[in-house]
Structure 1
């Protein structure tokens, strides 16, 4: 995206949020927009996000503060920032052509494990985690909630398409995974019991994948004990370990340690 185009989009977002045209955003204006975008985000969560934007603590967010926050690369509120940009692009009506939609629909069909034509968070979690490796689980859940325009707790094809077309895929950044806060800033957006259940199921699956990987490594180590030649044993172990690592990454999108 060209700098001019991006600047124009950011200015449009600010003007849309500044409902009274005062030249700044109040906490009430921010809350109105964010809770419409994601009804699971409560007022306390909006206030916390507002406080991070309001750098000079004067009780309102000026244009410069808003742009610095939205374009910041500090790792906080990644899900919210991505969702805000997605909503703006979605409003702009820029969609994919027929060929691109057909290709994406094929990918969607693979994600729909139970074949009901809809995606719940557990079904789409692996895909989102691989596509956005620098986002934590609450970030991904926030983005998922915002993509769910009908707010029925599931995504249809076109809602998923909004995410894929509006939020560019990320390259894994090791530093992004290293600095996870104890209390994630978007954790307050996960309020409903079904949302918490989805999170717990996704975490359980992640733990299961890790246990399966450890089991393979242990089995591989035991198998290596049968080699008498030290050099051959080292080579076999290295090749087998590399294979297990590739399989684990292909399945989970995570680099096992």
Structure 2
């Protein structure tokens, strides 16, 4: 994936090789063709349970975040990219909020050190595996968030459930994601 010059100095990534790795990771039976399930995983790797695709997502993430093209993610590259994804996910899921810039820095350093298993102060693709689901949430995650939002908008009692009357009375809210405005 990372291309080296003749003298051994690295100079960039081979996007075609990354795409080939994506295809090969999706081709679970190794026949050189994608069946329907494999093609679905190819299109939606974040929804796949295929460990090769999860590893490919990690390599792709390094490719996208590695601004100095050294084949790994430094702390600065982490803070300017991956950490923003993890932080917003953690704030949403756990209600974590920062009180100062110092606590943001401390939290980013803590997260980086937790991921940097070999202690080399860089993150490799394999070290991103524990957070890849936060960086690339599945469609199920988005569907759940959308459902939670619409329920919160339509329910009267704010108790986390909808009854039939609430659904009928708030049909415009519930079906807004499906139908255009002219249907209401």
Tell me the TM-score normalized by structure 2. 0.39
User: Which structure has more helix as a fraction of its residues?
Assistant: 1
Tell me the TM-score normalized by structure 1. 0.30
User: Which structure has more strand as a fraction of its residues?
Assistant: 2
Of the two structures, which has the highest relative contact order with CA contacts closer than 8 Å and spacing of 6 or more? 1
